[in-house]
Chains A and B, each alone.
Chain A
Amino acid sequence: MNDVRRYDPLDEVTLGEKDYVASLFSAAYEMGLVTDGELDVFQGRLLELLSYVTFKYTKGESSSVMEDVAKRFADSSLYLIGLKLRTVESRSDALDLLLHSNLTSLYEDGVTIASKLLADCKKQFNSIVKAFVTGGNEALSSSLKGTIKLYLQKYSRAVKFFAHEVPTIIEYDLYHPIENYEGIEFINDYLLRLSLENSFLKLFDGNDLLMLFRAFDKEYKDLLFNLFEVTLRNAVCAVLLGKPAGTLIIDEDDAERLRDIIEDIDEGEIYNAASSLLLGLDCENNVIKAYILSDAERLVGSIKRTGAVVSKKAEECGEIRIKLLPKMDDDRFSLLLEELEDCGCKAEFVKNEFRSFWDIYDVLSGEYLSTDEVYEYFDLLQVIELSSLFAFCKENELSSLIEDYLDERGDVRSINVRKYSHSIKFI
């Protein structure tokens, strides 16, 4: 059977998610679907609903409230009714409900929907804060762990009276600001977008992100800026420069070349660069892709206007101080070597048991591990750990082994290891 849908004249107009009831009524009124008489009756019923809400708010202790509070009740009630009506398939049916059904039950249904959204938001909030990249940015931390957390804590009472309201100040601006929603829907959408932006940041090396933010501004922790936008811009610029996907650090030489490249660049090329970036980062999240690629024009504008954040060359970046640990005593070292010989996963054993560079050097150069196992061990190290080891082993045979490893891997991590190793100073 064909899926035939009844013609609904109200489908021809765009209705806002914000002020849904008002825009539905306006559209119906203009189309002659609602008469003045029906509007008057509706207003009377709305006043009855507000009387009910006021009674609940004052617990029956006061028949009047301040004007601004009454206005907030009215906006909140219409928002909650709108939440319910947006779940109705046909707009004509929604209008019919609005005109003929009990407004108090529509309001209560709206409260139920908003409460469910609140529960979803709380879950989402908990999963976001568990593993979140803030780079130490205060605006982001306080928006998430201060403002939004407080809002979610208080919303279960506010939902009945001030459901449409959002926190007055959320310091941290998103890459794509939210325009369509209010109330708990706004927070829900904010958390969703924030989570997407954060998932994107997690595709990059943590040290590179910190270097990028530091290069953006030394005081970046106290600065109001969107971490995602700065990261995306540099990552796309790096692709335009022909660097491997995932590169964020662009130095002065690169910046010179970049200026020539972006002079005549168009939207299509930026779109392609952003697509290559996502492909290179193995990003399979379609929502992130859409979030980035849906507004290539904005990205072009941003790149042309601002270019990339330029970092000083690694050797000019100042030194990274690493404290050298003393070599362990010989008996313990011999004991661990015996254990190493019988161990199934040698790379992991070395990583877990040997902390001092002196000991690591002895183990790696003592042929206790095959080349593959040594490479596996290098894979387990963080960028800064491998950079330090590389710096420690300069001018000896282990240095050439690390060189070979970095050549073979040839990825962004390898570039960074070489770069940081110049800045290491042992104390």
Chain B
Amino acid sequence: MAKELQLFSFLPNVKKFENELLSLNDETVNYGLRLSQKEVKDLIEVRNEALKDSGRIEFGLGAVERIITCFCDSPYISQDSYALIIGELTEMFYNAKTETLDSVSDDELLRFMKEAFDGPCAGSTELLRSRELDAFIRACRFHVYGIKGSYDNNSEYTKTKGEVKFDE
């Protein structure tokens, strides 16, 4: 039999991704935000590292694009911090996907992150990561493991019927 050939690798098509991210500037420029060529390259590198660290594979640019379009209207993001914050949010996003055991959809997670970032975190990625997302992840995991209730009493978040929300 012929020797085995590596038929596929999950390596992304960087050039294609760069062009897709650069094209988003047309939309974000309305909020005074744009990514330079170098920032786009760095962001793709951050995204690839984040995927690797969280043990995930993504076929396409999916999440980064959605993070940009979701967060570009945030009052806490300025041009100076834009690339850095998107990079941090990307890391948090993939990490949370894995840590929640894939129990939340991309949209659900993004909605939560945006509300927390613009709300109680007041634009602090550190608070978002260490306080809000941490609690959110624990709430999701308890829900997945069917221990709902034991955590809810002390939690700011509950996950009911597939929807994670702030406690009233």
Q: Is the CB of A63 within 8 A of B106?
A: yes
**A16 to chain B: closest residue by CB:** B1
Residues of A with C-beta under 8 A to B8: 43, 46-47, 50, 74
Find chain A residues with CB under 8 A from B2 CB: 13, 15, 23, 26-27, 29-30
Bound: A70/B56 CA distance, A: 8
Min Cβ gap A54→B in Å is 6
Is A334 interfacial (CB-CB < 8 Å)? no
Contact, CB under 8 Å: B55 / A66: yes
Also in contact, A25 and B7, with CB within 8 A (given A15-B1, A44-B13, A64-B57): yes
Residue of B nearest to A59 (CB): B105
A22: chain B residues at CB < 8 Å are: 4-5, 7
Whether the pair A13, B1 counts as a contact (CB closer than 8 A) is: yes
Contact of A47 among B59, B102, B107 (CB under 8 A): B59
Q: Which residue of B lies closest to A74 (CB)?
A: B8
* Nearest opposing residue in chain B for A78, CB measure: B7
Q: Is A61 an interface residue, CB under 8 A from the partner?
A: yes
> How many Å from the CB of A280 to the closest CB on chain B?
41
Q: Let me know if B1 and A25 touch, CB within 8 A.
A: no
B138 to chain A, nearest CB (A): 20
Interface of B is mostly: loop
Interface size grouping (class) on chain B: 20 to 34
Within 8 A of B (CB), among A36-75: 39, 42-44, 46-48, 50-51, 54, 58, 61-70, 74
B35 at the interface (CB under 8 A from A): no
- Answer whether A70 and B97 are a contact pair too, CB < 8 Å, given A26-B3, A51-B59, A54-B59: no
- A48 and B12 alpha carbons, distance in the complex (Å): 11
How long is the Cα–Cα vector from A74 to B9 in the complex, in angstroms? 10
Total cross-chain contacts (CB, 8 A): 88
Residue A352 at the B interface, CB < 8 A?
no
Q: What count of chain A residues pass the 8 Å CB interface test?
A: 36
In the complex, A19 has a CB within 8 A of chain B = yes
Contacting residues, chain A, for B121 (C-beta < 8 A): none
Asked if B146 is at the interface (CB within 8 A of a chain A CB), the reply is no
Q: Which of B76-133 contact A (CB under 8 A)?
A: 94, 97-98, 102, 105-107
A286 interface hit (Cβ, 8 Å): no
* Top-6 shortest CB links A-B: A63-B62, A51-B59, A61-B105, A70-B57, A64-B58, A27-B2
Known: A39-B5, A63-B66, A65-B57; 18 extra A-B contacts, CB below 8 A, are A15-B2, A23-B2, A23-B4, A26-B5, A29-B2, A30-B2, A44-B13, A47-B8, A61-B105, A63-B59, A63-B60, A63-B62, A64-B51, A64-B58, A64-B63, A65-B56, A67-B56, A74-B8
Measured CB to CB, the residues of A under 8 A from B are 13-16, 19, 21-23, 25-27, 29-30, 39, 42-44, 46-48, 50-51, 54, 58, 61-70, 74, 78
10 inter-chain pairs at a CB distance below 8 angstroms, sorted by A residue, are: A26-B4, A27-B1, A43-B7, A47-B13, A48-B59, A61-B107, A65-B102, A66-B98, A67-B56, A70-B10
